[in-house]
Amino acid sequence: MNSSIKKIKSNSYSNLFLLLFFIFLSSNVFAQKEELWFGTYTDDSGKVHQGRYNIIKNGRALTSIILAPYGKPAMEFTIIKNDTIQRFVEVSWPNKPNRIATLIQYTDGYYAGNFEDGTKILPMVIKEFNFQDAQLQGNWFKPSQIEVKIIENTIKLLNSNDTWNKNDNRICNDSNTNSLFCAIYKSSIEIDGEYRHLRPAVKFIRDAIQEKYPKKYDHVLVDFNNAEEITLKELHEILKLAKENLIRAIK
């Protein structure tokens, strides 16, 4: 009888221990939260760019900051220190450990600071997406001839199978082959000086794909470009439709 009671108690303690262990494990797993943030960063020449960041948070602490700009390879910052009491994170620039910034968290949630290495001061801001980021990315640009020229240049860059990259990874180099995204990216820079992901030229191309292939592609520009069933003929039909819709919107 006593041995049975001891066995029951032992099993109860084991079950309780396992339950507490799984609660601890799950709380740590779910505390890790990955988010897409935006903002700005400054390059070595002092030019300010739109910032697009993959962020991982553990509670209030930022445990990973990866700069993932449109059309360029990602860069991961090194987290040196998190202080959730004083509300700041200290980080170093990718591959430049002596270039350090203290990013202070302000009351409305965004982080801002300057990278310094004794020779340069490079401001950086990271925050959740807001209307200012939408403005920077061209969300409120009106349809115009500039947008038409961007689409026309995109068509020009994708004029044959030899110039079309069917395996898009969203990194745009200086080669003569371009995916749909990279052709839009390069055309935007050539025509208007900067790529803006929400400008009308990009939006009308994305909408044309959705119009002809509703709900078929999750990451619209990339998945459409890479889809095995899509040929250059279908690609040009989409660009033609986007251009026509854009011209109609201007009128």
Report pLDDT digits (tens) over 186-225: 999 999 999 999 999 999 999 999 999 998 999 999 999 9
Under 8 Å between Cβ of 13 and 19: no
Rounded distance between C-alpha atoms, residue 242 and residue 1, angstroms: 81
Under 8 Å between Cβ of 199 and 137: yes
Element housing 134 (H / E):
helix 131-136
**Residue 25: predicted pLDDT:** 45
At residue 7, does pLDDT exceed 70?
no
Rounding to the nearest 10 degrees, give the CA dihedral for residues 57, 62, 64, 69.
100
Mean pLDDT value across residues 48-63: 91
At residue 28, does pLDDT exceed 50?
no
Rounded distance between C-alpha atoms, residue 130 and residue 139, angstroms: 11
Element housing 90 (H / E):
strand 88-93
Q: And the tokens for 205?
A: 């191309």
